[in-house]
Structure 1
Amino acid sequence: MDEVKAITLELDGVRLEPLEPRHAEGLRAAARDGELWRLRITSVPEPADVEDYIATALAMRPGRLAFAVIDAGVGNGAGAVIGTTSYHDIVPAIDRLEIGYTWYARSRQRTYVNTSCKLMLLSHAFDTLGCALVGFRTDNYNHTSQAAIERLGAKKDGVLRHHAPRRDGTVRDTVMYSIARGEWPEVRAHLRYKLSRD
């Protein structure tokens, strides 16, 4: 796998650009859209904590490459930060990375945005970086996220019990998924089909 370098990707009115401090106000607005930080099963920052959230993401390089998700369309909302996503747990020695730390403003959830983002990230991971496998993980109680990952065509690998702390002090089980290189052509065709119908 090639080194994972900062890159900007764009598809169907959605742009992924490396997350930077200048995205703070937009990310704060995205979190306020639905008061997403109140969900106990996500890592969405409270508005006052957005700068720290970005600083933490940047400090995790090279093991994490965080992106701001931007509305690159035309009309109302164009140019707005609508969420964030990341490559993380990047392991070049075995051609593996994960996609996660993903959240979108409530008004952009269950739209073409997630499909576009995943198609861009997976295409770059498999076709440019040469990944052998791309992983995903989510909270065992985040059934919406599990369903979204499964709709991508990812396979459920298993559950890591008592794996990570939640913001409320409880400890979550983590559900692990992955897409292998050999599965990518079918997944890519499926995601393109989904976008053609959205």
Structure 2
Amino acid sequence: MAPRRFGGGRLVIASHNPGKVGEIATLLGPFGADVVSAATLGLPEPEETGASFVENAELKARAAARASGLPALADDSGLAVTALGGAPGIYSARWAGPGKDFDAAMARIHAEIGDSADRSARFVCVLSLAWPDGHCDSFEGKVEGEIVWPPRGARGFGYDPIFVPVGGAATFAEIEPAAKHAISHRADAFRQLVAACFAG
């Protein structure tokens, strides 16, 4: 089935994470989307019961579209560390606990990698655009990099302070937001989404 085009108007960002909503709103700025967050609309956060980033993104997008009667864009993203068999992966947010303590989550990754020589990791992002009638299109982006310790930088959010992208020297939390937007996993997925559903 061909991707469905978004024709402008209100678009729900199916997230309660202000950092994520801000990033997506910035990326969507040029496309005539009147962005509103799920939190602003008082929509509940659905239980993420999927076994993959795609399943969780589609679950969140469809729930928000049904509840709001508007098109909804959901993101499911996380950090996959090679030495940990791809963990924390879809459980990236859960590793931070109910208090969203990413300092503790980063420390756990550092502890579990231990002496492993393999520091490679990737950020993965799936963006799903769903409509109230259940139609949904999904796009997956990735950025490869490595884990560093100790955490560096005060920009970004989540695991950004311990991730250095391939070819770079600074962590995602040290570089300018515009530079991160140009190369991030979310930007990769977003380029695919825009080409399929927004551009032209």
TM-score normalised by L of structure 1: 0.28
Structure ranking higher in strand proportion? 1
TM-score, normalization by structure 2? 0.28
